[in-house]
Structure 1
Amino acid sequence: MKSIFQNHIDKEIPYLKQKKLLLAVSGGLDSMVLLHLFQELSYDIAIAHCNFQLRGVESFGDQKFVQDYAEASGIPIFVTQFDTEAFAKDYKLSTQVAARELRYNWFYELLETEKFDYILTAHHADDNLETFLINLTRGTGLEGLTGIPVQNDRVIRPLLFLSRQEIENYAKANDIQWREDSSNASDKYVRNKIRHHLIPVLKELNPHFMNSFLKTEGYLQESLAMVEDAASMVFQQVAIEKENQIHFDLNQLLQLPNYQSYLYQWLKDYGFTAWEDIYDLVDSQSGKQVFATDFRLLKDRDSLILSPIDDSEKEIEFLVNENETEVNIPLNMTFCKAADISVATNKTIFVDADQLVFPLVIRKWKTGDIFLPFGMDGKSKKVSKLFKDEKLSLIEKENTWLLCSDNQIVWVIGIRADHRFRTSNTTKNILRIEFEN
């Protein structure tokens, strides 16, 4: 297999020669074979090992195994330890996602600080098949069926053309030692269920299933390339790039039989996720917008305009001083004293003015914002949960403003007031706050 592997490298990723390579080595079968192959081919390599501390003594056994191997072989090694479960809890991530974020953040840090050219991982054809099946069960487009790419930025996966069985055969033939991960035997994770129960059935139905799958992956990748080529050609007819904006001509766009598919291809790399809102934008009134983290898509007469959101826009705040009775930016709002309380509405609230700390702040909501909704007896609630309960679209969420007093939310404007600023029988100064669309 050594000569087959060398031919694969020479054909598919020849630029690895003369580069400084960092190999992600867990101590398991796949990564130890990857390490052995690159040793045999005399590449300039070093090892990166992550101890996620998820399997107690076993995790530290893996670390010692890899460190001992590196020392015996004279290979530079970098080792780190993560409190993965604490990180997952703090950031509300699954253990697998947390481990991935920690791992790749550290890898990229090493690439920069130690001047490596690429990070190499030991993903193989069976990993690709498992990813394909996971995406298939969850529902996916063509991209989700094209598998793990050989290269993604500075991460390269040289073993993708080999099956797990081929890798194991090579390890045994060359007396390569490795560590077994006990968690791989568990059906706790979806990937393991697919690996243990579904894939064996597929291989039983077709003994050459892996070869068939690799061919299918190739066909799907060719199809995706054709789709991307078509999208690029149509883009030239529909879109005009102006400075830092892209203008899509709606008259041209709506002549396309599958304009939604083209919009998806053009916009997917900008971080948009609310596709139904984007498709509805075509028929919306001018001024409607859909937001991604760093970009906005605006309907403007006969065009859709894609533009970046300035950092200053994301954090922009508007102040309301104590004596102000009217503001016009970003909303038309009035603030006036009231002798008594009439019926509050979505557009009007009554608050205890003595509980306010001026200047008040009008700002966009942020992830993690919490308030005490009026009528819930002082129980806190995330603003994002309120949006979900109210079934707000992405456009409506992004266009929602908060009125705040000393970092406390007074009013999710137009939706719900905060319990802390309510009036009572003892309230002496009532402030009536109203806004207009």
Structure 2
Amino acid sequence: MKLAVQKHLNQNLPFLKDKKLLIAISGGIDSVVLTHLLHSFKYNISLAHCNFSLRGKESNKDEVFVKELGEDLQIPTYTIQFETEKYASENGLSTQMAARELRYNWFQEIALNNNLDYVITAHHKDDILETIIINFTRGTGLDGLTGIPTINKNIVRPLLPFSTNQILIYATKNKLNWREDESNISTKYVRNKIRHKVIPFLKEINPNLLNTLSNTLENLKGSQQIIKDRIQNVKEKIVSIHTNETHFNIEELKKLSDPKIYLYELLKEYNFTEWGDVSDLLDAQSGKQVFSETHRLLKDRTALILSEITPSEKQTIYEIPENTLKIKQPIKLKFKTIDIPFDTKNHQNKVFEELIFNDLNTITVDYNKIKFPLIIRKWQKGDYFYPIGLLGKKKLSKFFKDTKMSLIDKENTWLLCSNNDIVWVIGKRLDDRFKVTKTTSKILKIKSKFK
């Protein structure tokens, strides 16, 4: 096995050789064998062990074993103790999911704080089979049937091509010591039920099950690549990026053979779970939304608009004192005061015309018509202003509708106000009441987009 692992590393994971690696080690046979192998290959490794405090003295003995192994091999070793059951209860998680969340968060913290490049786990071929069966019983797509990825961001699993039996033979032949976790024998957990009851039965039907699995995975991954290629072609027609939003063209989506399946492939990385509700958006009224834990999908007139959910602003009103030159929160604004010379003001010559500059991102207002501190805030129901270039006042909600702004656009719009009056719908329209006129003697120039 040692030569086979070395060949696999050299051919498929050569980038690991000169990197700093953190091995996630439980003290069990898999992670101990992985540690000995990488140590014998002279990789730059450290160990990280989690004591989940779930097995009393046995958990503590696992921790001691890992520390002693680190000392024997002269490898830096990190250990931590978690109150796993308390964490699970407080966060509404199963014990297994709580342990998973705790350990992976901690591994990433160690890697970040110590400039380590990759987290290495000891998952192997039998783990792939168990994972596929679990995903199949719970319902999954093609991704769930292709098992465990060898590389997932900075997590790498070098032992995936190797079986439990190969690992056991290597450990026995090399007289390695490891810790046995008695909870792995219990059928209390789903994975253990599959490991001890389902897989032995499947191996009776097909004694060559793991090799068959390898061939199946290779075929599935080939099919998966074809789908990825097709989705990339579809994206070119359907998807467009607008600042912090991604738009999916509804008309083009409906032309596809199965829009629901395409939506799943396009959106699966954004944590949506209610796929029926997602596909229903195609024929829903404008304004209907579906949420995942991290993103929102909004039905607009011609597009589904995807945006990331950000924490609500703690502060909704921002004051701008007089003589402010620049602000960065809640948006970037730059201010410049300009006095108009008497002759320029009276003759309205070219110099004066150049001072009056109004577009979407830069405005000039009559300094004497505004009251400090100026206010920046979000829009509210009932807000109105006097849009420059139009006659009379207009409700902001009607202005948004007429300019075809989406719900997300509205939520992201800020107002610059003087007392209770809107001076500028920032990035959209100046209020006519504050424009520069022939009688203006002082100008305030405000710019919203600059480097």
Q: TM-score, normalised by structure 2?
A: 0.68
Structure 1 pair 303–193 and aligned structure 2 pair: CA distance change class (3 A):
same
Q: How many angstroms apart in 1 are the aligned matches of 2:45 and 2:210?
A: 30
Q: How many angstroms apart in 2 are the aligned matches of 1:87 and 1:331?
A: 46
The one-letter code of the counterpart of 1:69 is L
Work out whether 1:41 is the aligned partner of 2:41.
yes
Q: How many angstroms apart in 1 are the aligned matches of 2:158 and 2:91?
A: 32
What's 1:375 paired with? Answer: none
What's 1:240 paired with? Answer: 240
Q: How many angstroms apart in 1 are the aligned matches of 2:382 and 2:298?
A: 19
Percent of residue pairs identical: 50
Work out whether 1:151 is the aligned partner of 2:151.
yes
Q: How many angstroms apart in 1 are the aligned matches of 2:79 and 2:97?
A: 20
Work out whether 1:73 is the aligned partner of 2:79.
no
What's 1:253 paired with? Answer: 253
1:84-103, aligned counterparts within 5 Å?
A: 84-103=84-103
What's 1:405 paired with? Answer: none
What's 1:204 paired with? Answer: 204
Q: How many angstroms apart in 2 are the aligned matches of 1:258 and 1:173?
A: 54
Q: How many angstroms apart in 2 are the aligned matches of 1:208 and 1:23?
A: 30
Q: How many angstroms apart in 1 are the aligned matches of 2:233 and 2:30?
A: 41
Q: How many angstroms apart in 2 are the aligned matches of 1:82 and 1:72?
A: 25
Comparing 199-208 with 15-24, which one deviates more in the overlay?
199-208
Q: How many angstroms apart in 1 are the aligned matches of 2:220 and 2:314?
A: 39
Gaps of 5+ in 1: 318-327, 333-437
What's 1:58 paired with? Answer: 58
Q: How many angstroms apart in 1 are the aligned matches of 2:268 and 2:380?
A: 32
What's 1:130 paired with? Answer: 130
Gaps of 5+ in 2: 318-378, 384-451
Q: How many angstroms apart in 1 are the aligned matches of 2:306 and 2:316?
A: 20
1:391-410, aligned counterparts within 5 Å?
A: none
Structure 1 pair 269–66 and aligned structure 2 pair: CA distance change class (3 A):
same
The Cα offsets for residues 303-355 of structure 1, whole Å up to 9 and x where unpaired, read as: 222233443369979xxxxxxxxxx95699xxxxxxxxxxxxxxxxxxxxxxx
Q: TM-score, normalised by structure 1?
A: 0.71
The one-letter code of the counterpart of 1:210 is L
What's 1:191 paired with? Answer: 191
Q: Give 1:283 deviation, angstroms.
A: 0.7
Q: How many angstroms apart in 1 are the aligned matches of 2:169 and 2:294?
A: 48
Q: Give 1:103 deviation, angstroms.
A: 0.5
SS at match of 2:176: coil
Structure 1 pair 330–183 and aligned structure 2 pair: CA distance change class (3 A):
farther
What's 2:224 paired with? Answer: 224
The one-letter code of the counterpart of 2:136 is L
Runs (4+) of structure 1 exceeding 6 A deviation are 313-317
Q: How many angstroms apart in 2 are the aligned matches of 1:102 and 1:305?
A: 33
The one-letter code of the counterpart of 1:24 is A
The Cα offsets for residues 208-237 of structure 1, whole Å up to 9 and x where unpaired, read as: 110001111121122112112111111111
Q: How many angstroms apart in 2 are the aligned matches of 1:278 and 1:46?
A: 44
Q: Give 1:295 deviation, angstroms.
A: 2.7
SS at match of 1:312: coil
Comparing 172-181 with 298-307, which one deviates more in the overlay?
298-307
Work out whether 1:308 is the aligned partner of 2:308.
yes
SS at match of 2:246: strand
Q: How many angstroms apart in 2 are the aligned matches of 1:103 and 1:162?
A: 24
Q: How many angstroms apart in 1 are the aligned matches of 2:207 and 2:314?
A: 55
Q: Give 1:153 deviation, angstroms.
A: 1.3
Structure 1 pair 259–331 and aligned structure 2 pair: CA distance change class (3 A):
farther
The Cα offsets for residues 399-422 of structure 1, whole Å up to 9 and x where unpaired, read as: xxxxxxxxxxxxxxxxxxxxxxxx
The one-letter code of the counterpart of 2:99 is A
Structure 1 pair 284–43 and aligned structure 2 pair: CA distance change class (3 A):
same
Work out whether 1:14 is the aligned partner of 2:11.
no
What's 2:444 paired with? Answer: none
Q: How many angstroms apart in 2 are the aligned matches of 1:89 and 1:247?
A: 39
SS at match of 1:178: coil
Q: How many angstroms apart in 2 are the aligned matches of 1:107 and 1:61?
A: 21
Q: How many angstroms apart in 1 are the aligned matches of 2:82 and 2:243?
A: 44
1:381-396, aligned counterparts within 5 Å?
A: none
Structure 1 pair 108–195 and aligned structure 2 pair: CA distance change class (3 A):
same
What's 1:359 paired with? Answer: none
What's 1:297 paired with? Answer: 297
SS at match of 2:283: coil
Q: How many angstroms apart in 1 are the aligned matches of 2:59 and 2:23?
A: 18
Q: How many angstroms apart in 2 are the aligned matches of 1:309 and 1:89?
A: 26
